[in-house]
Structure 1
Amino acid sequence: MNPLHRPGDSPVHRLPAQVKIVGALAFVLCVVATDRTAYWAFGAYLAVLAAVWVVAAIPPGWMAKRALIETPFVVLALAAPFLGGGPETEVLGVSVSVSGLLAGWNIVAKGTIGVLASLTLAATTTPRDLVVGLQRLRTPSVVVTIATLMLRYLEVIVAEARRMRLARISRGHDPRFLWQVGATARGIGTLFLSSYERGERVHLAMVSRGYAGALPDTGGPARPLSWLSGLVPAATAAVVLVGTL
């Protein structure tokens, strides 16, 4: 089961995958192009995403848990005000760099909204539909092949890593101790080699069963109404971006 996908039958779920991919990409580009000092615009972008969650029946808590993946970038952003140079200002009695403070805000604001937009796409679109959507958008076949193999093989790698970890623990390995980091590093190397070899076997099995670089696509092109409704969030983001200029 894909932890990032939330099954449903909402209008957002029913949209063709290629429409949602283009809409998400356009939305993120608008966010990235927004000046970091246009604070109100980022609140507007978040409101647009919240409206999509309401239509798709996605609880904000469900989304917030999966957004924790950006924690390392948040930590980097928190350190930026103390590492930047130039003029300084005081925040809660602590002197911080103005340019560093703006850089940290830029990372948090744009990074968070970008992650939430990506999670919204993943939550309303199955992995297979994402690959098919890329095919319909004429994405290079190499990219489609890599995405297909990743989807088919990711669970195999995770299961293999769990088995290797269980085997190490049963032999007395305890990853909490620093002096056992060598065993962990060797395990990662072994996992890489075994994954590479198994990946070749998986690809060979796919080719022998008729795989020719593309997944079967039984659907037709997206209707104009689907494009119009699916690109509403991106169009709204574009209006917000123009309002900041």
Structure 2
Amino acid sequence: MHFKRPLAEAFGTFWLVFGGCGSAVLAAAFPHLGIGFAGVSLAFGLTVLTMAYAVGPVSGCHLNPAVTVGLATAGRFPWKEAPVYIVAQVIGGALAALALLQLMDAKPGFDVTVSGLAANGFDAGSPSGFGMMPVFATEVLATFFFVLIILGATAQRAHGALAPLAIGLCLTLIHLVTIPVSNTSVNPARSTGPALMVGGMALHQLWLFWVAPIVGAIAAGVVGRVLYSDDE
């Protein structure tokens, strides 16, 4: 594997976490700026949309361990390359969260344990107090459809130039629905970065935001093999 591919994944995942989580802790936290959670949802979608054009030609623009696993399950990506991609994605997400933490530390009165850097969680970690099982089910379902839409949008019969738009809008829609539930993960790398910086409950609950998206991605990969078998 050429080093440029995991490097592209690290850069892309950095942008996703910095842009998406950054919009939550820097802009949505200030009501007079007016972006709200709808603006945060759009920000996450825009990070994927823009990076799909920037690094898609290099690495395929996974930016997400669940996407990598889903594509491998569907036969669209070699399993042997998945660990390198996943490590690069986690590093990119962690560096973005570190950059956000350093930026927010410059703000008077900032407390990372209160802000949370848009960390994901359940029970007390959920924005609306959702328990573990509803959060788990939501993350599985949302990731399933996210990966399935990626498989469909990038199938040979699809309009490839429009794939980034479909994928970015899908991620926006997922955030519009699930931010109140879990702060929206569907991406273990996106969850890992803030959890490492915040620690405590966010780190203790991180396991769910690895297991649930991976389960949903594998299910989507299996279904995708059937739906898009003519494209293989």
Normalised by the size of structure 2, how large is the TM-score? 0.27
- Give the structure, 1 or 2, with the largest relative contact order (CA under 8 Å, sep 6 or more): 1
Normalised by the size of structure 1, how large is the TM-score? 0.26
